[in-house]
Structure 1
Amino acid sequence: MRRILNQIGIASLLCCAALPATGFAADPVPSVVTEGKSAPNVDNSAINDRDRYAGNKTPEDQFNTPEDRNLLAAVRRSVVHDKSLSLMAHNIKIIVNTGAVTLRGPVKTADEKMKVEKIVLAVKGVSSINNSLDVKTN
């Protein structure tokens, strides 16, 4: 079952990457909330366990409206297309709820965390950001 879900996830990402860009015009100043932590042991496995039991929303809890799906695809495409970001940053969790974007997962540096936030802010349709990305310190 897990293998099938992984294949569906990969197919979904490939489909999203093929969608046309919706634009990068700035909306009226979206609000930004920055959370997360910095620690040497930041990794996705531990974060996944934390999110699963802390009552935090995960990508599986995402609303399934066409607008949210299109905005999610545009945000994901913008993050993945920036080749200056690390593989960790390309694989962050992105959750969209009526224009509000939540970012979770590990990134390599505080600068990368801010860069991802700026990239997401530039996507048309983003009304607010909850930046809960965690910075992995060496």
Structure 2
Amino acid sequence: MSTRLLLVMFTLTGGLIMMTGPVRAEQDAAIYMAASSELENTERNVRDKDNTTLTPEDQKETKKDIKITAHIRKAVVKDKSLSIDAQNAKIITRSGVVTLRGPVASEAESKMLQKIATKTHGVVKVDNQLEIKAP
């Protein structure tokens, strides 16, 4: 059954349509593969939704905080010894307090990001919440 037909049926009936057959089997297989994937991060996403952890949306919009974040990001991306994960770590600055979040390849990378942030002019404190990825 095509996606378009399913959408039309859903719209007309105003409810869910039970799917069976090959389409359902493909979806079940995809869900199973996603759940066992290294990329599966549902728990992390749930944690981030409860407003107890900072996300990039919490970045302050002051010129000083934006400048700090931009300076750290530039230094991190420039360091080619860092993994892609480390280069993509979340950097959130609020009133000079920098929070680092996300996965990194090693303890050494975590320390390197913290060092870069600490050395940045205007940083009051660094909250290192980086997570070491399992090998």
User: Which of the five TM-score ranges fits, normalised by the shorter chain?
Assistant: 0.5 to 0.7
Q: CA separation in 2, counterparts of 1:133 and 1:93?
A: 9
Which of 1 and 2 has higher RCO (CA within 8 Å, sep 6+)? 1
Count residues with an aligned counterpart: 98
Percent identity reads 41
The answer for the alignment partner of 2:109 in structure 1 is 112
Aligned equivalent of 2:89, options 87, 92, 109: 92
Q: Which runs of 5+ in 1 are unaligned?
A: 1-40
Within 5 Å, give how 1:22-37 maps onto structure 2: none
CA RMSD of aligned residues (A): 2.0
Aligned equivalent of 1:52, options 49, 54, 57: 49
Q: CA separation in 2, counterparts of 1:135 and 1:44?
A: 16
SS at structure 2 position matched to 1:94: strand
More helix by percentage: 2
Q: Which runs of 5+ in 2 are unaligned?
A: 1-36
- The answer to whether the Cα contact below 8 Å between 1:71 and 1:96 also exists between their aligned partners in 2 is yes
Deviation at 1:55, TM superposition (A): 2.3
Deviation at 1:82, TM superposition (A): 0.8
Residues 54 and 115 from structure 1, CA distance in 2 versus in 1: closer, same or farther, beyond 3 angstroms?
A: same
Q: Give the TM-score normalised by the residue count of structure 2.
A: 0.66
Q: CA separation in 2, counterparts of 1:108 and 1:43?
A: 14
* Residue identity in the other structure for 1:123: T
Q: CA separation in 2, counterparts of 1:42 and 1:122?
A: 33
